[in-house]
């Protein structure tokens, strides 16, 4: 069966503040996105992968699809949650059927979960040599069964045809592996740390040679930073704070005491350093797993990546090349790629995504 789609597919990236959608396809020429849109969600309607009111969300999604002229398309969903469990496992080199059998009958030996409550799939990470013996590396991904069912029900109720439910780490890994040259100036780096600066969480995926090696949900996002700013600037609403952040000239430069926004900028910078400290802990974990592990590039995307000077802050803090995701040479999209990266990456279907 061909991995390249002949017709357009709808891909929906679910977040706590927005659902971001793209209509496009993955072809031999790359990834082509013909249409993109966002659905802003009321606070509390969608949290950490959980749909709090499926009837309300169905109503909002159906209206948005109608407004954008989207009918009964084949649909991929992209989700993330602290409830999703990932575990890298090393096994003797065995067949796909034998791996399926282990997941079916011996899963609890590798992940401490009730198999009845989770749907577990795996990604092949290649082979390693241990004591002269080849071993297969796989990444087990367990998603709560109830979470999958809720999303499938939502999509079917919205007159869509759900076929794939992906997760953020895998979606961004596919985008990086198939997207080509980054921003027209960076070569295809072998190891990229992808930092999705979202509202409720920050999603960190370390992609090595096109395969996700580490995927973590950091429970600290732009909402936390905005809330800290609210404490000192209580007269400002959330939208006012976000607008002010976007208008700042360069937050990598420490403000002078004469700057009228000195307090605002210092609080913003301090909380970004808190986030970077949390990211650094995961970087250290990755690097200590193997002496040869290194990070070539830090790639920033998501809503907060638009902050001017943020890439410079990351560069100076981690002493690593850091950049915002602006473009990929093999991706054509009619909108900002950094805001639709996960949805775009999910359009790619690869043979190593296993049952």
* Domain CATH for 91: 3.30.1490.300
pTM for this predicted structure: 0.91
What residues form DSSP beta bridges with 286? none
Tell me how far the alpha carbon of residue 315 is from its chain's centroid.
21
Does residue 345 form part of some domain?
A: no
pLDDT tens digit string along 297-324?
Answer: 999 999 899 999 999 999 999 999 999 9
Residue 288 makes CB contacts below 8 A (sequence gap 6+) with none
pLDDT at 6 > cutoff 70: no
| Residue pointed to by tokens 């950049």 | 323
Which pLDDT value is given to residue 352? 38
Dig out the tokens for 329 from the structure. 């040479």
Average model confidence (pLDDT) for the chain? 91
Which pLDDT value is given to residue 353? 38
Beta strand pairing call for 50-51 and 211-218: unpaired
Edge to edge, the sheet with strand 322-324 lists 211-218, 202-208, 191-197, 297-301, 322-324
Which pLDDT value is given to residue 96? 81
pLDDT tens digit string along 149-188?
Answer: 999 999 999 999 999 999 999 999 999 999 999 998 776 6
241 and 125, same structural domain?
A: no
203 and 99, same structural domain?
A: no
Phi, psi (deg, nearest 5) at residue 296 = -90, -30
Does residue 274 form part of some domain?
A: yes
CATH number at residue 252: 3.30.420.40
Phi, psi (deg, nearest 5) at residue 181 = -65, 135
Domains identified in the chain, total number: 2
**What is the span of the domain harbouring residue 223?**
182-327
Determine the Cα–Cα distance for residues 89 and 141; give it in Å rounded to an integer.
11
Determine the Cα–Cα distance for residues 246 and 141; give it in Å rounded to an integer.
36
223 and 101, same structural domain?
A: no
| Residue pointed to by tokens 């949900």 | 217
């Amino acid at each position: 069966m061909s991995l390249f789609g002949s017709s357009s597919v709808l891909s929906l990236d679910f977040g706590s503040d927005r659902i971001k959608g793209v209509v496009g396809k993955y072809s031999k020429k790359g990834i082509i996105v013909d249409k993109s849109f966002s659905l802003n969600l009321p606070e509390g309607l969608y949290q950490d992968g959980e749909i709090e009111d499926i009837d309300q969300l169905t109503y909002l999604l159906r209206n948005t699809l109608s407004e954008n002229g989207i009918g009964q398309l084949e649909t991929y969903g992209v989700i993330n949650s602290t409830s999703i469990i990932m575990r890298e496992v090393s096994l003797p080199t065995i067949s796909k059927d034998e791996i399926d059998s282990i997941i079916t009958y011996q899963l609890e030996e590798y992940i401490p979960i009730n198999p009845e409550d989770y749907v577990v799939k795996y990604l092949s990470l290649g082979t390693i040599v241990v004591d002269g013996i080849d071993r297969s590396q796989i990444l087990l991904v367990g998603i709560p069964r109830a979470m999958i069912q809720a999303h499938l029900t939502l999509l079917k109720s919205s007159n869509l045809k759900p076929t794939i439910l992906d997760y953020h780490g895998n979606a961004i890994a596919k985008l990086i592996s198939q997207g080509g040259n980054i921003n027209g100036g960076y070569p295809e780096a072998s190891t990229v740390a992808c930092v999705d600066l979202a509202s409720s969480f920050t999603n960190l995926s370390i992609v090595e040679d096109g395969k996700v090696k580490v995927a973590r949900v950091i429970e600290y996002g732009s909402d936390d930073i905005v809330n800290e700013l609210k404490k000192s600037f209580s007269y400002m609403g959330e939208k006012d704070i976000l607008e002010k952040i976007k208008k700042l000239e360069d937050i990598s430069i420490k403000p002078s005491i004469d700057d009228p926004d000195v307090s605002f900028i210092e609080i913003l910078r301090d909380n970004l350093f808190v986030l970077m400290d949390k990211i650094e802990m995961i970087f250290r974990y990755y690097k200590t797993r193997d002496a040869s592990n290194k990070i070539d590039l830090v790639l920033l995307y998501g809503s907060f990546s638009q902050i001017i000077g943020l890439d410079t802050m990351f560069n100076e803090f981690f002493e690593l090349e850091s950049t915002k995701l602006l473009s990929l040479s093999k991706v054509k999209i009619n909108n900002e790629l950094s805001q639709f990266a996960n949805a775009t990456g999910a359009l790619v279907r690869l043979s190593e995504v296993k049952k």
